[in-house]
A = this chain, B = another copy of it.
């Protein structure tokens, strides 16, 4: 085995998520990447991604690994070769050879997701693909206060998509940062050891309700304790979400 760790960025707007969806006819990041690797390597290459981003979700630092056995390209050449072939909404950022024990998903120690809100009466054509538009004013202080209740090791069952098969729902959030960029843009940055299905988007949907004054910041502990999806807020839309970084 010749194990390659590859970091990629993508604008997820035109894709049905990262993971291959066999037989659906929907285009995914994984399929496009594997098709380019197949053309470059002259044989089938299967990649494993660190995180399965959903349809419309972006990445600035998704990590994949694959076995390049028999493909005699120096690791640092892979980036240029891929960028010459990938569509312009996907870019290869970095490639390196790693030990055979490296697995993009299981070896990850931390992931960072950023959720971006465009908070203004007037929508922005330039942020529309990369943020969730909230026209009513948000109380960012209240959102930051509520977010701190989520930091730490908790059972996040209330923040998991209904019907998810995952039974072990305890995760650790190392930090949640809420910050403004200019007057209109709000970023919520979540760093944790793992995330349940839709967990970031449900946390954001709940924090937006806090920001709108529909919920008290101090309601979060009771929502966590309930272990019940119906107690949390709605799932925020995908276009605001971006997988920023995976740490190993």
What residues of chain A have their CB less than 8 Å away from a CB belonging to chain B?
9-11, 58, 60, 79-80, 83, 88-93, 121-126, 128, 130
Contact = CB atoms under 8 A, between A and B. Distances in A.
A91 B130 contact: no
A128 B80 CA distance: 17
Q: How many copies does the complex hold?
A: 2
Interface centre among A125, A126, A130 (most CB of B within 10 A): A125
A88 B125 contact: yes
Complex A-B, nearest 5 residue pairs according to Cβ-Cβ distance, in ascending order: A11-B125, A88-B128, A89-B125, A91-B123, A10-B125
18 contacts: A9-B126, A10-B125, A11-B125, A11-B126, A11-B128, A58-B125, A58-B126, A60-B126, A83-B122, A88-B123, A88-B125, A89-B128, A90-B125, A91-B123, A91-B124, A91-B125, A93-B122, A126-B130
B123 A83 contact: yes
Given A9-B126, A83-B122, A83-B123, 10 more contacts: A9-B124, A9-B125, A11-B126, A60-B126, A79-B122, A80-B121, A88-B128, A89-B128, A91-B122, A126-B130
